[in-house]
Amino acid sequence: MIDQMINHKQNDSVSRRKVLTGAAQALAAIAVVVVGVPTAFAKGKSAKEDFFFQETPDEETGRKCPTCINFTPKSTGDYGADSGDCALLIGDVCTHCYCQGWTDKNAPGAKKANT
């Protein structure tokens, strides 16, 4: 009887060890996935369609990326020499593009997205 209890205890401890080992391995796998997330997602950028991104200036106001605080020009990219990076959106934007995240770069207190 005592032998059976000891064996039962040992089996419990082996089972617990297996569960804990499995849980640790699962957590390690999650950590690898999180660390491997593309930089854009890590910085909290959004998809272009979420901000109604378009490749033309706003028709009513003439607003476009170069007057937006989120715009950083660059000489190469999807739009060639007119390309730029956006602090808000994933992917290249352009000097004649626009989206609803436009923020006047000259407005007092204007703050770049995700900073």
Site residues, ligand SF4 (CB under 6 A): 53, 65, 68, 70-71, 86, 88-89, 93, 97-99, 101-102
Is 66 within 8 Å of 109 (Cβ atoms)?
no
Cβ of 114: how many Cβ atoms within 10 Å? 14
Is 94 within 8 Å of 65 (Cβ atoms)?
yes
Nearest to ligand SF4 of 23, 47 (CB atom): 47
Cα dihedral value 91, 95, 99, 102, nearest 10:
110
Nearest to ligand SF4 of 16, 105 (CB atom): 105
In whole angstroms, how close is the CB of 115 to ligand SF4 at the nearest point? Answer: 13
In whole angstroms, how close is the CB of 94 to ligand SF4 at the nearest point? Answer: 8
